[in-house]
Amino acid sequence: MPPYCRQHPLPYRADPAVYFRRIHRQPGAILLDSGRPAAQRGRYDILSAWPLEELLPRDGEPGWAFFERLRASLRALSPARFESEGESESEGESEGEGDLPFAGGLLGYLAYDFGRRLEAPAGRDNDDIGLPDARFGLYDWALISDHRQQTSQLVFHPRCPAEKRRMLAECFAATPEAGFATELPAMPLEDFAARLHAAPSPADESRCAGPELGSGCEASGFSLTGEFRPAIDQDSYRRAIDRIHQYIQAGDCYQVNYTQRFQAGYRGDPWRAYSALRRACPTPFSGYLNLGGDDAVLSLSPERFIRLRQRQIEARPIKGTRPRGHTPENDRLLAEQLRDSIKDRAENLMIVDLLRNDIGRSSRIGSVHVPELFSLESYPNVHHLVSSIRAELADGLDAFDLLAGSFPGGSITGAPKIRAMQIIDELEPHRRSLYCGSLLYVDSRGEMDSSITIRSLLARNGRISCWGGGGIVMDSDWRAEYRESIDKVDVLMKTLEQSALD
């Protein structure tokens, strides 16, 4: 952490929703969620709101230019002493450096289509969702829970003023029983803090009738207005796979990640949907981002894209999937089938080679290596084959150089990357939007962590979208691939279809 970061301890909560739900409607509210207490692989939860500024790409702005604006924002939040020299600590605060992942900086997303602003040529114009290609907030505070140390604390960047620190400490110290502590509409932090302990209005009381003890009140439920429907039929899917096989035979590519989209109408609060989804499918790289109104990103991703910590790089691509079995014996057989599959290992190895090349662009010569190959990881709905690639960041480069050389992730494009992306543009009927992009942070020290936004949903303008896909190689059978694309997101769709979420 930068020197002099202040930390304010809070009661440890294994479930980040306990803290996040009270601010989830606030401007720029974001949760990077390890999936605890059910998921076991994640260590940290990071949440924040009320960014100092928001940054979106401008029309026609190249990716490198947007990254330079992000760098400039981080420089404005550069490590420094507190705004007021000699400023006293608030009650309960301490200074120091801890083993914490984020020390103030940028939190947000890159959509898959941001790749068009880097090196991929422009392609399909059918952007029927209209999500900006990227969106980042600049935050001078975060609430971080460390599940290894079993601590929760507010972490304040040196430029976070004392009055703001005091208000935030009060916001998270308050309990739902102390007043109308959750479900306040979006408002500035000063107004939120003032309303926190105020008596609820009659309208508030009617919305909050009968909350569960300790849960706070929720302003609205969530429900779909119909079932999820695919954007293409099975015959269109088959024709797309046939075309990919033709490209592979012609030598254009070795593998193409092909995806189909599912959509349904919805009404209500997407946070209620996310809360149900994280119970049904806890994963270590989940996340929620409030986009304003009833729009939000809901990600249940199992996949890390790239982490940069103390100049050490790690990527953990997923390639290879089987559904979970209905009995312990069947489940074990499916896991063994995946682990021993020559086809899945070959696909995984292709992506490992691609990522070695991408990461190598920004790495110290000779530092790229593969310490883990073809590991089996199991989640509530699927088994996955996972590998890891590590390297050391080259001198003079930073997290944005690393992103510029490797985004979007190779595990969700195919190989070779640029040609695979061109084929995706040709064959998928709509732009991918959020899907196969990344939720990430880059902090004031230059540290970064990021996910691949697979198993993710986008709630926008009354429609909720999710996507499922997989890597297509020469011996891929279209029926098996079609089934796999549904298996990957079936638990997400069924969770939202089966009942209204109050």
Which residues are annotated as catalytic? 303, 319
Name every residue whose Cβ is closer than 8 Å to that of residue 185 and which is 6 or more positions away in sequence: 25, 219
Q: Residue 105 and residue 2: Cα distance in Å, rounded? A: 11
Q: Residue 324 and residue 334: Cα distance in Å, rounded? A: 7
- The residue type of 222 is F
Q: Residue 310 and residue 388: Cα distance in Å, rounded? A: 18
Asked if residues 181 and 187 have their Cβ atoms less than 8 Å apart, the reply is no
Nearest to 437 by CA among 248, 303, 260, 278: 303
List, as one string, the DSSP characters of 356-419: HHHHHTTB-TT--EEEEEEEEEE-SSEEEEEEEEEEEBPTT--HHHHHHHHPSPGGGTEESHHH
Q: Residue 200 and residue 131: Cα distance in Å, rounded? A: 35
Q: Residue 434 and residue 467: Cα distance in Å, rounded? A: 10
164, 167, 169, 174 alpha-carbon torsion, rounded to 10°: -160
The two structure tokens encoding residue 297: 């990103």
Half-sphere exposure of 138 (CA within 13 A, CB side): 18
Q: Give the residue carrying structure tokens 């290609």.
A: 133
Q: Is the peptide bond before 211 cis (omega within 30 degrees of 0)?
A: no
The two structure tokens encoding residue 86: 């000699």
